[in-house]
Amino acid sequence: MDFQLTEEQKAVRSLAHDFAMKELVPHVEEWEDEGVFHREIIEKMGAQGLYGCGFPEDIGGNAMGLLAQVLIIEEITRLCLEAGLSFNIQSMVVPKGIYNWGSDEQRQRHVPKLLRGEFVGCFSLTEPDCGSDAAAIKTRAVRVGDDYIVNGTKMWSTYGNVADLILLIVKTQPELGTKGASAFAVETKDLKGFAGAKIPSNIGSNCVPSAELIFDNCRVPASWRIAQEGEGFKVAMNALDYGRITVPARAVGIAQSALDKAIQYANERMAFGQQIGRFQMVQHLIADMVVETEAARLMVYRTANLADQGQTFSREASQGKYFATEVGVRVTERAMEIFGGYAFAKEYPIQRLLMAAKVMHTGEGSANIQRILIAEDALGYKKMTRHAAKPKFAL
């Protein structure tokens, strides 16, 4: 086992750092005040190659591997939460879903555009009445000749109202349960019978929209279907495995950001004639924050490393998602404590970090759902490896 990063991996993290300091950090406050989506964030990150580590060069990637991708996600999220939120969609769930399950034509048509930031992606599974119980989705696609007619409502789709491409999971044969779901790569340009609206919410960033999507007799070509009819649930679960690399990587970036800010504040803030960092109880908080962040980081790196080696990684992804997102919440809560009353001042972004950490804790399979998967696997009731597919692309 080698815990050292390669020179190439260190260089990619440093490139992400320099990019964030130049292109993102100076604009964050302005973006948050405006509260609108800025497409140029995704375009610039795509042009810089920040989304493409998990894909080969012939499809627009740079083949540096998922550990390199995790390093980028962590560093960008640490410095700019808003930009960090784009990785799940642009570098993992949507392009991996299409790359692993689509035809050659579908891969070539969509994956390079997502990785280069020319297309904004969206993954849409959750509905108003079901999130954790994903098998209960009701949005329906009915085959009519060379098309499908889609009807239903989706909820909480990140970037859904601004996306060019939606990896959409629907039911084609509801009576078959999970075996009756299908996946589609839906292009939204000039799409009739489709509308997306931003959900007013507090997710830690004002400029990353979560959307409700309405499909009202929306006609999509059958050629947009990804994989076979009935394989949509497999596509979704496999895509979510990759999300369980991105989401904990972001949680580590959030935790590190909260820790950096708490350390700076503890060294500056004076009480009873000394820096608050000199108080033992504050030091206990800092010590726990350091150790937990480091442990979470190692778990995420382990998952990415397994994927890079071409191994199945569902179990480790679920464990890492559970632990790192718990850590994200705990560390940001402790940072709030260290900031005292100023934690609630808009001047300090700690509250935004806490909300973002909470979102990581809920999305991509909530903490409870991860606990169920991990416990059932450990008890031998349902092995997490039973459906796990080896990565289509490895180093």
Ligand X SMILES: Cc1cc2nc3c(=O)[nH]c(=O)nc-3n(C[C@H](O)[C@H](O)[C@H](O)COP(=O)(O)OP(=O)(O)OC[C@H]3O[C@@H](n4cnc5c(N)ncnc54)[C@H](O)[C@@H]3O)c2cc1C
Binding site for ligand X (CB under 6 A): 123-126, 130-132, 156-158, 203, 210, 359, 362-363, 366, 368-369, 372
Residue 126, both tokens: 């959750």
> Between residues 322 and 339, which has the closer beta carbon with respect to ligand X?
322
Pair 151, 192: CB distance under 8 Å: no
Neighbours of 133 (CB within 10 A): 10
Residue 115, both tokens: 């990785």
Look-up of token digits 């080969």: 56
The distance of closest approach from Cβ of residue 290 to ligand X in the complex, given in angstroms and rounded to an integer, is 28
The distance of closest approach from Cβ of residue 4 to ligand X in the complex, given in angstroms and rounded to an integer, is 35
Which are the catalytic amino acids? 364
Four-point Cα dihedral 356, 360, 364, 367, nearest 10: -140
> Between residues 194 and 265, which has the closer beta carbon with respect to ligand X?
194
Rounded to whole angstroms, what are the CA distances from 254 to 69, 74, 159, 302, 313? 16, 8, 20, 19, 23
Q: Where are the beta strands (DSSP E) in 252-383?
A: 270-271, 274-275
Which own/partner contact pairs does 305-312 have at CB distance under 8 Å and 24+ positions apart?
305/66, 305/67, 307/54, 307/66, 307/245, 307/391, 307/394, 308/65, 308/66, 308/67, 308/394, 308/395, 309/394, 309/395, 310/390, 310/391, 310/394, 310/395, 311/390, 311/391, 312/385, 312/388, 312/389, 312/390
> Between residues 77 and 124, which has the closer beta carbon with respect to ligand X?
124
> Between residues 82 and 308, which has the closer beta carbon with respect to ligand X?
82
The distance of closest approach from Cβ of residue 362 to ligand X in the complex, given in angstroms and rounded to an integer, is 5
Amino acid at site 91: S
> Between residues 90 and 124, which has the closer beta carbon with respect to ligand X?
124
Q: Is the dihedral of CA 177, 216, 93, 294 positive or negative?
A: negative
The distance of closest approach from Cβ of residue 128 to ligand X in the complex, given in angstroms and rounded to an integer, is 8
User: How far apart, in whole angstroms, are the C-alpha atoms of residue 176 and residue 97?
Assistant: 22
> Between residues 131 and 277, which has the closer beta carbon with respect to ligand X?
131
The distance of closest approach from Cβ of residue 263 to ligand X in the complex, given in angstroms and rounded to an integer, is 28
The distance of closest approach from Cβ of residue 135 to ligand X in the complex, given in angstroms and rounded to an integer, is 12
